[in-house]
Structure formats: C-alpha cells, structure tokens
Chains A and B, each alone.
Chain A
Amino acid sequence: MKKHVIKVSLATLSLFVATACTDLEEKTFSEATADKFFTNAASFEAALVPAYASLRPYVWNYWNLSEHTSDELQGPTRGGDWGDGGQWVRLNSHELLPNEGLINDLWNDLFTGVSRANNAIETFKVAPDAVKEKALFVAEARAVRAFYYYLLCDTFGNVPIVTVAQADPKNPPAQNTRAEVAKFIEDELKAVLPNLLDKAPYGRFDKGVANSILAKLYLNSQAWTGTARWADAVSAADAVINSGRYSLATNYFDNFKLQNEGSPEIILAAAFSSTRDLGFPNQNLYMRTLHYNQIPASPWNGFTTIAEIYDGFETGDPRRSVMWEGQQYLPLSWPAAATSGTKVKDRPGNDLIFTKNCPITGADERQGIRVPKYQPDIAAPGGQGENDFVIFRLADIMLVKAEALVRNNNATAALPVVNAVRSRAGLRALTSINIDGIYKERTAELFWEGVRRQDQIRFGKFTEAWTNKAASNARVNLFPIPTNQIASNPKLKQNPGY
C-alpha cells in the first residue's frame, strides 16, 4: 500500500514536471532574429539603411579628431569647462594615446559602418527576387564600405580588411597593410562603379561619390603608400567635375545653411534633422563653438581657431566672415556676426568680446575666435541642427584636381580651376598658382570641414609647430591602434612609433 502511494505520487509529480518543462530557448519580442524578420521586400530594403546611418558619426569623432589635431581648431579649457580628462589638450599637442577614448570611438564608428555594409551585402545575398534593386543595393553597400575603409586608411592605415558583418572573436581577422587597404578601396570602387546610379537620390552613393573617394585616395596615395597617383587623381576628379551633375553654389554659405540640401555643389552629405530623433551624434557644430549666451539652446563655449589661421586669409575674403571676432550682439545674424543690437554679456557680466589670442588651458569665456561655419539653428532646441553635414562637395574635388595638376607639374591647367573656386567666393583671379597657393586656398575654402588633418599630412605640415602646439613626432601621421582593439584582437600590431 505504502509503495503504491509513493509510486502514484511520484508519477503525478513527474507528470507535473513534464508538462511544465520548457527548452528555455529565449523568446524574442522587441527584437527578432534575422530569419524571422526579413519577410518582405520592404524589410530587405531597410537592411541597407544602417550603413548610411553610420555616416552621421563622421560629424563627431572623425571631425573632432581631424580638427583638434590640426592647426585650424583648438579646444581650450575654460575654468572647469572642457577639461574632460585632458583629451582636447592632448589632441591639440599631438599626445596621441592608444587608450584615448575618442580614438577608440573612431575605430568603432568606422568598423561599425563596415559591419553594417557587410551585413547588408550578406542580407541581399539571400533576398528574394521581389527585392528588385538588390544588385544596386549590393553595389552601393560595397561603395559605402569602401568609404569607411577610405577613412580607416586615412586615420589608422593598417587595419584588417573584413567582408563579414561579425568577425569571429575566437579567430579575429588579420591586419592588412595600408597599401593593401588602399588597393582594396580602389578595386572595390572600380568594380562597383558601373553598377552605381549616375545620380542617386540625395544622401545615397552614386558614381559621383565613388569617384570623389577615388580622387581623394589617389591624391593621398603618395602620403599614404609612397606611390604618387596624380594623373589618376585628376581623372577621378574630372569624372565628378565633368559629369555635369554638380555645380558650385552661387553663394558659398548655401552649403552650410539650415536647408543646405538644395545646394547643387554637394556630392555627399550626412543628413540631419532638427525634428527627427536619429540618436547621437547630432549636427551640433555651432554648439561646440558659440558662447552660452548667444542662442537659447545654450551652446558649449568651446572650440576656437587660432590667430595665424584667422590672419592667413586674404584681405576681404568673404569666407572668413563666419569667423567671429570682437563684440557679439543679439539678435544673431549669420554668416557674418551681428554688428549691432543688444550686446551679449558673458556669465560674469562682462561684454562678450571674442579675442584672437586664446591659451589652450585656462582661457576665459571670451577668448578665441569662434567659427559657426554651419548656420546656428536657433529654433532647434537643445543643439540639434537641421543642416546636413557635407562630406564631399564640388569645390573640394576641384581643388583636388588643381592640387594633383600642380603636383604633376601642370600648374597652368590648375590655375583656372582654382580661380573658379575663388571667383565664386568673390575673390580676384590669380595669375599663377603653386603648391603653397593650393594649400592656402584649401585652408580658406575648406576650414572646419573635417579635411584639415589629411591636408596637413599630405602637405607635410602636420608635425610642425603652431600656436599652442610644439613640433611633433612623425608617428602622429597615423593614429595609434586603440588599446581596446589590440586587447580583443591580438593579431593587431601597433602602428610605428607608438
């Protein structure tokens, strides 16, 4: 009897247990596995978008690292403000540390872009034919990937070339040389060029974008790989210039105003919106430079340019009007600062007068010339501008062509190209041009657009001394491979000199 009872109860219990048992496979609700998510053409088409979303971080890490290490921008500490663990001052003085957070973030930004492009390619491989544009999307994704590799080649140089979305942590990818990376970019772009659209909708990669990347790659080829490719640079630039799809904006500042998407000059831009949540980073370039009391969103009173950049402009160059010096007034005007109205005060109550000289540490609120190159979006609360960030524009590519011609000993052919850019700015035509003239023109045309570090390296000026910065070791022409990356991928070797 006893045994019977035990048996029955055990049987009942095991029945309960059996019915309650689950395999513990995690159920997904607010996320989905890829095989469950991609159910129709619309969802497949959305797979390319994240690769484009990765253009936006350009405006934060790539821009900051390209500008702070260059001569045209500095981030002084002001009292407690902008100390930030010393990172801005370190960049300014070319103390480039492998464990610098911003440098690690840049690596991650760019490789996230690579991963997203690779994932798009992998996804389209399994897409049904209902996804009509899948061949085009694959070509675009490869071009986008080439763009991120172009930036990686520019900043870190020696990076692994990977064509899968997720590297295997147990067998991480091997490092490639900078020359191999450059070759990969060139091969990829050449391979996809025929499949790209002649002119894609704004914000997407087309032949113009691919040729712009190639032009820049060739222009920097000598600095990056030791092989000069001046003629290739000219022909790639010509492919853009002669495509007939771009023209210089009548007004230089149309490229930077709030609704700059209408500018015929823009080849590639990262689109931002003041009303759409697109996550960090925002288009907040004006927030980084203007004083707290200049617009309602309370900018951060940060970055300035230095005296020799400001003084280096030709007299009457209207492009300089967006560099603000002296007493500031409200209401604000742009591009030139308002010259009348209510005087802006600093927080202690002094007149807000921006001065040319500004130390790199311990500056006060008023020191330093401010450069709101992009129009401040006064209506956008909280520092999220409507202006799109221009990555490639025609004037830049024209100057690429002119520089390549000059370097290839054909200054005569370069002169009209430079003069076209100057003429749009409202400056007199030059009668001759040399490499120094090109450098000066690039400074005046492209300041604070995120190209300065690359230019300075190519012109051999990056390691020189300038205001608040001593001469630096040639190793800084490449950023160090971040400590975190070497930790997770022991196959990575540190760049020379670090």
Chain B
Amino acid sequence: MMNHSYRLFQKVFVKAFFALTMLFTGLSVSAQDRQISGKVTDASDGSGLPGVSVQVKGTRKGVSTNVDGSYRIEAPSNATLVFSYVGYTSQEVAIGNKTVVDVTLSADVKSLEEVVVVGYGEQKKRDITGSVSALKPADFNPGVTPSVDQLMQGRAAGVQIVQNNGSPGAKTSVRIRGGTSITAGNDPLYVIDGVPLDNSATSPRSTNRGPGIDAGIPANEPTNPLNFLNPSDIASIDILKDASATAIYGARAANGVVLITTKKGAKGKGRVTYDGYYGVSNLRKRLPLLNADEWKSISRANGGVAGGNANVDLQDEIFRTGMLQNHSVGVSGGTESTNYFVSVGYTGQEGIVKGGNMERLSARVNLQQRALNNKLLIDFGMTGSRERQKQVPASGNSGDFRGGILAGMFKWNPSIPLINPDGSYNQLSASNPNPVALINLVDDRMTIDRILANISAEYEIIEGLKAKVFLAGNSSVGTRESYYSRDLLNYAPFGGVATLGKTNFSSWQVDYTLSYNKKIGDNQNLSLLGGFSYQNFDNRLSGTTVRNFLNDVLRTNKLESGSDFTVPPYSDRSLREIQSFFGRANYDIAGKYLLTATIRRDGASVFGTNNKYGIFPSFSVGWRISDEDFMKNQTTFSNLKLRAGWGQVGNANIPPYSSLTTVVADPNRSAIIGNEFKPGVGLTRASNPDLQWESTSSLNIGLDYGMFNNRVQGSVEFFNRITNNLLYTIPVPQPAPFTNQLANVGSMKNTGVELEITTNNVNKGTFTWKTQLNFTALRNEVTKIQDGANFLVFAKGVGAGASNAPVQILAPGYPVGTYILTPITGYGPEVAGAKSPTYGSKDAIALFESGESVAFGSGLPTWYGGLNNSFTFGNFDMSLFLQFSGGNKILNNTFYEFTRLDNITKNAYGAVKPLYNDPQTKFNADFLESGNFLRIGNLTLGYNVPAKALGKVVQSARIYVTGQNLHVFTKYRGYDPAINTPLDGDNGTSGLSLDYLAYPLPRNITFGVSIGF
C-alpha cells in the first residue's frame, strides 16, 4: 500500500514537474546509442552500492544504480562514464567497446582532507587541533533563513541561536559555548571573507525622544547586523569555538569567531543556478484570551463594569498570514587563470503581526585572477545590498503602562469594538491603546544600504613563501523615517511626530601577511604565518524630529511642513581603531603529532592609556591515534584523534570614549537662567586609564572519531572557560562627574561538554538514512562581582507597579540570570477561580541579604542541541530537524501583567486565562516556567528531477516543500519558549529568558525550486 501510494505520488510529482520545466526548456530528445550495463560494488565488502550516479561525461545524461547496485545506460562508443557517490572516490571509465562495465568504489579517505577556514588562512580538517565546527551548504537549515546566522541554528554543537523575537529582520542572539560577558556583548565575531564586522546594529536608533515625546510607543527592535548578506551566496560557515582556534583574532575572540566564506567560481563552463521559494508565515499558537462573554461574567461577578456588546477576537485582529518569497540567481565559472561568481538575490518577508515587513535586494561579485605564472593571485569580492524594513511597534517595553500592539491586544476589553460606527478607531485612553490603530497609524520605515568590498593580492616570492596585502572597506548608510499620526490618541497633543534619523557607519581595514610552508626531512611539515592588521570603525549618526503637522500627508518627506521644532536635533560621531600583530606556527610529524601555536598583540583606541595593548597566546596539540602502528590491525576505528588546547582571548566591546574624561554640552547640563536657555558644558565621566578588554582563558580537550569505515563519526569535547576583568559599570566615589564608571571587575566560569555524532544508518538500495546529532551541556557560574556588593541586579521585571522590581541577579556562586523572586507562603481562597498567593513579611532581596539561598533557577539554558534525520528514497529526499533546549526557567512577564483579575475589575482591561489574583503584584514562582522544549524546527520533503527528465538546458532541478517551526513540545504557556525580551537591569544588563510581549516566532511553510543550468 505504501509502495503504491509512493509510486502514485512520484508519478504525479514527475508529471507536474515536467509540465513546469517544459515551459522553460522544451523536452529533450535523446539520440539512440549503445546500451551499457553493469554493477557498482563497495570495495570494502563487495556489496552492491545503490544510488550511485552514473553519468556520461560531458553530457547531462545520467542514471542511478538500483538497490543491488546495477545500472543500465545508453552511451555513444567514445563515451566515458563517471561513477560518483557521496563519501566515495569517483571513478571514470572509458567504455571503449565494452557493453558491461562493472566498477568498484572505495570510501573516500579524502573526505578527511576537507579544508577549514581558520583565520588568515586555511587548514586541512585532519590537521586541526582546536575546536572548529565546519558547515557546508548541505548542513544549512533549509527554508526561510533571511540572515546567515539562521543557516546554522541548531546545526553545530556548542552554538546556540535564539531568535529574540519573530519580527522580520530582528536580531538573533548567537552564543558559542554560553556567554562570557555580562555587559560587553556575547555575540561572536563575524568575519566575512576576511573582514571582521562590527556587531553594533547598523540601523538608525529610535529617535522618539524630546520633551514629552515618549508617548508610550516602544522603541523598535534592533535589527540583525548580518541582514545584508544573502544566505544563498554562502559557501561555508566555520565556527571557531575554543581559544586555541580563536586566539588569532585576539581581543575580539572571546565569544568565538564565525568565519563566513562566500561562493567562488570554479574552472569550467559557466553555470547558472536559480533558487527560489514562495511561502506563508503564520502564528503557530494562540493564547487563551478571555472572550467577551467570559469577560463580562467575571467582571459582573467581581464588582466590575458591564462592558460593551461586541465580541472582538483580538488575535484575529492583530495577526495575519504573511507572504514569503525569495529568489536568487547565481552565475559562476572560470578558466585556468580566472574565475568568477556573480549573484543577485531578493528576499521578501511579511511579519505575522499586521503591517510589518522586510525586503532585501543584494548582489555579490567574487573574482579571482591568477597571473605571473600563477605566482600572483588577485582576489576581489564585493557585496552591495539594500535592506528595507517596515517595523510595527509590536512588542516592546514599557512598564509605562501604555505599550505597543501586543500590550494593546492583551489589554483590550473584548466586549468593546475596536472601530467606531463612523469608521474611526475607538481609542479608549492613553493607557489603553487601540492595537489596530497602532498598526495603521504608526509608519516606521528603515532603509539600510551597505557595501562590503575586499581585494587582496598574494604573491609567491619563492616556493612556500607568500606575501599578501588585503584591503577591505565597509560602508553602511541607514535612514529611518518614522511618523506617528496625529490621529493616534497619544500623539494628538503633538499634532503628529515625524522623525528622520540617519546612520553612516564606515570601516576600512588593511592586513599584511607573510606565510611560509616548508617540508622538513621526510615527514615533518612546518608552516608559519605572521601579519599586521589595522581596522577602524567610523560611526556617525544624526536625527531630527518635527512635530505638529497639518495632516498626515507630508511627514518626513517635508519636515519643514510641520510647525513645532522644539525637539533638539542630535548627532554623534566616534572612531574606533584596532591595530594588531599576529603570528601562527603549525608543525606536524607525519601528520600524526600536530602542534599549533598562535599569538596576537591587539591594541584598541578604546582601551585606557595604561592598557593600550593586550597579548593573546594559544597552544594546541593533536595526536592522530588511528595513524599509529598499533591501530593498524583493528577495523573499528577509521579515525581517532585526540586534541588539547589552551588559549587566552579578549572581548574589546567597549563603547567609545569610555576611558576618557571629556567635556560635552548637552540639554542635561544646560539650564534656564534669567528666563533664557543657557547651554552648559561639563565633564562627562570619571576617567579610567586602566580600562581594558575582558580576558577569557579557555581549555579544550577533544576527541574526533570515525568508526566502521566512518559510518559513525563525530567528536566529543570538554571545555572550561574562565573570564576575568568583566566590564561592568561600578559606582565611583562621589563627588564625580557621573555616578558610575565602566571598569574591569568580576569573573565567571563556563564549563561544558559537546557531542557531535553523524551516522549513516542505512546506505542500501534506493534508500539512505543519515542521522546527525549535536548536544551541548553547559554550566555557568559567576565567581566574582564588584567588591562590597552581595549581588548585582541583572534584570528588572516590568509592568504596572513593577518599576525597580529585580527579577534576576548576578551573585557569586550562582549562574548568570539567577532568579530572585518573592517566595509564596501559601494560597488564600480563590477569587473567581483565580489563585491568590500569600507572602511572608520579607521580600526576595531582603531574604537573600539575610543569607537565604536563591533556589529558583536561572534563565540560562544548561543543555541544548539539534537532531537531524535525512532520508533519500530514490529521487525523493526528506529531512526532519528537531531542535531542543532546556534547563532554564522563563519568567513569563507577559502573563504576570495580563492575567491579573484586578485588570478586569479595576481597569476594565482584557486578560489571558487562567486569571491570577495578587493585589500585592509580586514577581513570584507562579510566573516562572520551565524553558525545556523540543521544536520541530524543520521538515523538508524534496524531489530531485531525474536527469533523463531534464532537457538539454537544465542540468539539475529540485523541488521541495519546507515547514519551519511546525510544532513545539513544551509546557511553556506563552507564545514561544525560545525568546528573550531584554529587560533592563542595572548598568546595561538585560536578563535572560524573559518573555514580555515578545513578537511570536512564526510558522513558515514554503514551496521552493532549485535549478541548475
């Protein structure tokens, strides 16, 4: 039955595809040639190899072998057949006058010869001694991946990627082996084709400020700095995880380094590829909001008011099915001396909250030219992109009891209509915003134009000695045009507010490197690298806000058509410079005993004058046990390598001017004297000439293994990372120009294990099944904070009445993001079915200070990973990707605020079930939920159109359907357990695993095609 439906499906599929491709290519007509048959067997055991591609060289003609390894193909007598199979060495056989061609394929030992980008060079994977995860396009997440980081989500051990929210283009949090920092950022260093990026967002900041201008609409989400890259242009992502691998990037490497390499052309005839999909995006889960009848009965029974006569389904009013599309065309090819890769791409994504969207148009050119007898290699690459976003004030903060669309949705009494009979928005009050009015009356658009270009020239002076000059420039120009309509209740007093913000970020870089490779004696290899690098980041931003327009027509397009110019314009400029000297030595004996040492001396303008330069060394060793003689007689292990490494790296993410005492004139320092505005000039901060990088030293021990002819392979790693000199703003003795100062205080520790396993479970017949698992377990502990403090506030809860309510702290002996909540001592009688907690006399902080332990857990996940199963059935393929994470607790701050019974009775607000009754409004463990989840991250079903069905023009074609975020197994009551809403703690901390009005992650279904010409 199964077989039958499979066939039927295949037939329908093939027919449908034929109809489609015929439109483009027309049917091919094959000439009648000689019939060749034969069998392909596995060299190791003589069994038939199914699914081997058998192709007539130089043509598109090809077949696959059957279950038993046999095949049949028509070919002209002068033809050569090419037999290829993943993981095996390809073979070419000239058929001559044969009619039967049997072939034996052996497992490809060269798959271990895969090269990995390691920073200022490449290394054979088999020689790597540090901890590196290498991802190729086959490992990338399929489906909707608008930014490059999403390609690797869940795909590499030790790398955790959390989409902070589901808004299109929103920033993700990428954590490699947990966070090393508290305030200086935990995102890795991204290096694109040799150009390290500045992680700061390139989007113009929310300029919604000025006298009385904060009318409750939240600031917009930060955007992802990687948005400008088209994921289709990516050839590989290499993730350097431990300090022995990352130390070559010195003071910026503490959070790991992600090396992104774009596609290059290869020798041969030009190839054209098209990748594209269409899809839909919608809300995966609905929350149980009270409906009008429920609302009214609860309100009546508890002394509230009657409400209206409508019955509004608020989630229907806010959410929608968004359209998704992506198109990418690449052209590549080359000759002996030149190769090229050119691509253009377009991505469009509509958010699931009405109104928001993101678009990107990008182009990439990579050119390589060899000259002077192949001694000179010129390499040029450039990306240009335009990213446009329309953001809606969906999530966002504000315990300022007004809030954005989601707050408006939760608060809205479902018995009150959103639209008045005359068609206008029903805007109840400033603190009860109409979410639909917010969607339609806030217009916030952003455009970011970015160019990243690099050119290098490498010359081989003598054999093995190469000198290279590398130049790169990076420019990003952002414009943000926002307009808050005069029809919005909160903006009516201003007569509409238009803000035009600009950013201009530019950077340039020059690297000089000298590398030398030498074979010593019979079996020793030495390679040396030395270099110098300079990079600067020149960041400028400015903005102007004008209020009081006659109507909503001209807005930012004609600022002077407004009439209120009282909001001062602003501008800002800073320049950061980094100067570095670095070197690396690799030495091996017979490829068996491996040694790597690196050193980097990094200086940065943002460091204090007493600490301008830091030195970052690393050492690592490897031992290929499987190459030893005593391993010759066993067949279990095809590969076994033990690695150990130590290194020291830094985090130099220090805001400009932090170490200096300067003067500035600004409104805060100005005063009205004699009824006249007088600008004031004063000191900015206490100087800190000792300010320096955060320093992380890390130890890594790893074992790479391959068993049963590499049918089972992977690695196990243990790591221990200690970070000292954590950057934190600490109070300075008063008097001082400012209350706090950025200083190096505090330490923390991350310990963990990582596991990667790939198994080829089934490799027979038309059926293959491969499993990949990665798993990480992690333990974090804060070991030291500033002197004299028992704890520091890491995050404060938000919501009405919640100002200054700490919910997470940093304290020695506890992991970062440890919860501190008021213990519930019991429950009083339920009110309207709502739990009513009771508390002791002391609040959480008082209990902690009197020595009680904090036993609520932390917001930091302690384990996470991904499991991918991929199958092929003949031309069909399927993959199922599961992502899991847990060990953390989530503070459901959304439910804390919007399940309150008194919201209904006292404020006539809407609410989410189940209701909760706590007039004392304490953050307690009833709002702390398990963060464990298992997500069906990806399910893809694909069909590779057989070569014989393709015309002369089309070389390969694949169609597929992908579902993303199909289901989440979790007990978490909110929209999604994998979120993080930054909620400010003290001095720039923002908490972990906090959910406050997070934009839900969408579920995406896409239908896509990949065609090669």
Chain B residues contacting A87 (CB-CB under 8 Å) are 804
Interface residues in B520-549 (C-beta closer than 8 Å to A): 532, 534
- Kindly identify which residue among A6, A203, A274, A277 contacts B667, using a CB–CB cutoff of 8 Å: A277
- Kindly identify which residue among B431, B806, B900 contacts A79, using a CB–CB cutoff of 8 Å: B900
Distance A78 CA – B731 CA, assembled complex (angstroms): 33
Query: Which of B24-32, B277-285, B602-610, B883-891 lies at the binding interface?
Result: B602-610
* 22 contacts across the A-B interface (CB closer than 8 A): A9-B465, A26-B575, A28-B657, A29-B575, A31-B664, A77-B919, A80-B802, A85-B806, A111-B734, A112-B734, A115-B735, A164-B735, A169-B732, A275-B211, A276-B211, A297-B430, A348-B304, A361-B919, A382-B212, A485-B733, A487-B730, A489-B734
Q: Does B1009 contact A (CB under 8 A)?
A: no
Interface residues in B661-717 (C-beta closer than 8 Å to A): 661-675, 677-684, 686-687
Chain B residues contacting A38 (CB-CB under 8 Å) are 663, 681
Distance A204 CA – B674 CA, assembled complex (angstroms): 8
Q: Is the CB of A77 within 8 A of B801?
A: yes
What 0/1 pattern do residues 465 to 498 of A give for CB contact below 8 A with B?
0000000000000000001111111100000000
| Known contacts A101-B804, A119-B682, A293-B429; A28/B662 CB under 8 A | yes
- Kindly identify which residue among A115, A276, A292, A349 contacts B566, using a CB–CB cutoff of 8 Å: A276
Q: Does A315 contact B (CB under 8 A)?
A: no
- Kindly identify which residue among A31, A80, A382 contacts B211, using a CB–CB cutoff of 8 Å: A382
Q: Does B945 contact A (CB under 8 A)?
A: no
Q: Is the CB of A118 within 8 A of B682?
A: no
Distance A275 CA – B680 CA, assembled complex (angstroms): 18
Chain B residues contacting A341 (CB-CB under 8 Å) are none
Beta-carbon nearest neighbor of B512 in chain A: A16
| Known contacts A28-B657, A167-B732, A169-B732; A46/B665 CB under 8 A | yes
In the assembled complex, how far is the CB of residue B497 from the closest CB belonging to chain A, in whole angstroms?
Answer: 10
Chain B residues contacting A365 (CB-CB under 8 Å) are 906
In the assembled complex, how far is the CB of residue B654 from the closest CB belonging to chain A, in whole angstroms?
Answer: 10
Q: Is the CB of A30 within 8 A of B802?
A: no
Distance A55 CA – B665 CA, assembled complex (angstroms): 17
- Kindly identify which residue among B430, B668, B919 contacts A278, using a CB–CB cutoff of 8 Å: B668
Interface residues in B497-519 (C-beta closer than 8 Å to A): 510, 512, 514
Distance A274 CA – B659 CA, assembled complex (angstroms): 35
Beyond the given pairs A83-B922, A271-B675, A279-B666, 16 more chain A to chain B contacts, judged by CB atoms under 8 angstroms and listed by A's residue number, are A17-B512, A26-B660, A37-B662, A37-B663, A49-B678, A111-B735, A112-B738, A114-B734, A276-B566, A277-B568, A278-B211, A296-B492, A361-B919, A383-B212, A483-B789, A489-B733
Distance A32 CA – B805 CA, assembled complex (angstroms): 37
3 closest cross-chain pairs (CB), A and B:
A382-B212, A487-B788, A49-B680
What 0/1 pattern do residues 85 to 123 of A give for CB contact below 8 A with B?
111000000000001010000011001101110110000
Q: Does A209 contact B (CB under 8 A)?
A: no
Beta-carbon nearest neighbor of B491 in chain A: A381
Chain A residues contacting B672 (CB-CB under 8 Å) are 203, 271-273, 276, 278
Q: Is the CB of A46 within 8 A of B462?
A: no
Chain B residues contacting A24 (CB-CB under 8 Å) are 577, 579, 603-605, 607, 612
Interface size on B, residues (CB 8 A): 112
Q: Does A202 contact B (CB under 8 A)?
A: yes
Q: Does A362 contact B (CB under 8 A)?
A: yes
- Kindly identify which residue among A29, A112, A172 contacts B733, using a CB–CB cutoff of 8 Å: A172
Chain A residues contacting B788 (CB-CB under 8 Å) are 483, 486-488, 490
Q: Does A183 contact B (CB under 8 A)?
A: no
In the assembled complex, how far is the CB of residue B585 from the closest CB belonging to chain A, in whole angstroms?
Answer: 17
- Kindly identify which residue among B605, B657, B735, B786 contacts A165, using a CB–CB cutoff of 8 Å: B735
In the assembled complex, how far is the CB of residue B720 from the closest CB belonging to chain A, in whole angstroms?
Answer: 30
| Known contacts A9-B461, A277-B568, A485-B734; A203/B429 CB under 8 A | no
Q: Is the CB of A6 within 8 A of B671?
A: no
Q: Does A436 contact B (CB under 8 A)?
A: no
Distance A396 CA – B609 CA, assembled complex (angstroms): 52
- Kindly identify which residue among A26, A55, A166, A293 contacts B656, using a CB–CB cutoff of 8 Å: A26
Q: Is the CB of B683 within 8 A of A488?
A: no
Interface residues in A337-365 (C-beta closer than 8 Å to B): 347-350, 361-362, 364-365
Distance A10 CA – B765 CA, assembled complex (angstroms): 59
Beta-carbon nearest neighbor of A381 in chain B: B493
Q: Does B144 contact A (CB under 8 A)?
A: no
In the assembled complex, how far is the CB of residue B888 from the closest CB belonging to chain A, in whole angstroms?
Answer: 24
Distance A484 CA – B607 CA, assembled complex (angstroms): 25
Chain B residues contacting A112 (CB-CB under 8 Å) are 734-739
Q: Is the CB of A81 within 8 A of B800?
A: yes
Chain B residues contacting A135 (CB-CB under 8 Å) are none
Distance A289 CA – B435 CA, assembled complex (angstroms): 28
What 0/1 pattern do residues 215 to 228 of B give for CB contact below 8 A with A?
10000000000000
Q: Is the CB of A384 within 8 A of B667?
A: no
- Kindly identify which residue among B210, B462, B919 contacts A277, using a CB–CB cutoff of 8 Å: B210
Interface residues in B222-236 (C-beta closer than 8 Å to A): none
Q: Does B313 contact A (CB under 8 A)?
A: no
Beta-carbon nearest neighbor of A77 in chain B: B801
- Kindly identify which residue among B734, B787, B905 contacts A167, using a CB–CB cutoff of 8 Å: B734
| Known contacts A32-B663, A79-B900, A361-B920; A49/B843 CB under 8 A | no
Q: Is the CB of A381 within 8 A of B494?
A: yes
| Known contacts A382-B215, A487-B731; A275/B605 CB under 8 A | no
Distance A69 CA – B210 CA, assembled complex (angstroms): 32
Q: Does B214 contact A (CB under 8 A)?
A: yes
Distance A362 CA – B901 CA, assembled complex (angstroms): 13
Chain A residues contacting B801 (CB-CB under 8 Å) are 77-84
Distance A6 CA – B786 CA, assembled complex (angstroms): 52
Q: Does B921 contact A (CB under 8 A)?
A: yes
Q: Is the CB of A165 within 8 A of B683?
A: yes
Chain A CB within 10 A, most for which of B735, B737, B900: B735
- Kindly identify which residue among B209, B571, B737, B849 contacts A115, using a CB–CB cutoff of 8 Å: B737
Q: Is the CB of B686 within 8 A of A49?
A: no
Chain B residues contacting A2 (CB-CB under 8 Å) are 462
What 0/1 pattern do residues 725 to 753 of B give for CB contact below 8 A with A?
00000111111111101000000000000
Q: Does B469 contact A (CB under 8 A)?
A: yes
Distance A33 CA – B607 CA, assembled complex (angstroms): 16
Chain B residues contacting A349 (CB-CB under 8 Å) are 305, 908
Distance A115 CA – B799 CA, assembled complex (angstroms): 35
Q: Does B567 contact A (CB under 8 A)?
A: yes
In the assembled complex, how far is the CB of residue B217 from the closest CB belonging to chain A, in whole angstroms?
Answer: 12
Q: Is the CB of B734 within 8 A of A347?
A: no
In the assembled complex, how far is the CB of residue B505 from the closest CB belonging to chain A, in whole angstroms?
Answer: 14
- Kindly identify which residue among A49, A85, A168, A347 contacts B804, using a CB–CB cutoff of 8 Å: A85
Q: Is the CB of A30 within 8 A of B908?
A: no
Q: Does A47 contact B (CB under 8 A)?
A: yes
Q: Is the CB of A27 within 8 A of B605?
A: yes
Q: Does A5 contact B (CB under 8 A)?
A: yes
Distance A364 CA – B213 CA, assembled complex (angstroms): 29
In the assembled complex, how far is the CB of residue B713 from the closest CB belonging to chain A, in whole angstroms?
Answer: 41
What 0/1 pattern do residues 235 to 262 of A give for CB contact below 8 A with B?
0000000000000000000000000010
Q: Is the CB of A108 within 8 A of B604?
A: no
Q: Does A22 contact B (CB under 8 A)?
A: yes
| Known contacts A27-B605, A31-B684; A276/B667 CB under 8 A | yes
Q: Does A53 contact B (CB under 8 A)?
A: yes
Distance A48 CA – B673 CA, assembled complex (angstroms): 11
Q: Does B449 contact A (CB under 8 A)?
A: no
Beta-carbon nearest neighbor of A115 in chain B: B735
Q: Does A25 contact B (CB under 8 A)?
A: yes
In the assembled complex, how far is the CB of residue A205 from the closest CB belonging to chain B, in whole angstroms?
Answer: 10
| Known contacts A167-B735, A292-B430; A50/B680 CB under 8 A | yes
Q: Is the CB of B662 within 8 A of A32?
A: yes
Distance A249 CA – B789 CA, assembled complex (angstroms): 50
Distance A133 CA – B510 CA, assembled complex (angstroms): 52
Q: Does B803 contact A (CB under 8 A)?
A: yes
Distance A357 CA – B606 CA, assembled complex (angstroms): 57
Beta-carbon nearest neighbor of B919 in chain A: A362
Chain B residues contacting A85 (CB-CB under 8 Å) are 802-806, 843
